[in-house]
Amino acid sequence: MNQYDDPANRRQHARKNVLFRTRVSVSGVAVDCEILDISTGGARVNAPMAFERNTEVVLAVDQLGNFGAIVARSNNNEHGLKFNDDPERIGEAIMLIATYG
């Protein structure tokens, strides 16, 4: 059984564990956060802010730019974001974060 057949792991994209400080903003209000893992499909972040599911947010990564996302899940300070940005651009950012982050 591969990871896509396993009901416990329904993610479509392989995730890379990282610990990278950045900012996330909603409606122009930004807070510091940490990216805990990231893939071309989304990211898991730790941010001291409450987010409603399906809220549009922006993940601002210094020197790499801003990446649009939708809140897929939120539990206390841990949030799952689904990117709605260019997958190729996100892939390039992931490579840089994984290499230099």
Domain ranges, ordered by start, for the chain:
16-100
Token duo for residue 77 = 């300070």
What does the pLDDT look like over 7-54, one tens digit per residue? 444 445 577 788 889 999 999 899 999 999 988 899 999 999 989 999
CATH of span 16-100:
2.40.10.220
This prediction's pTM:
0.81
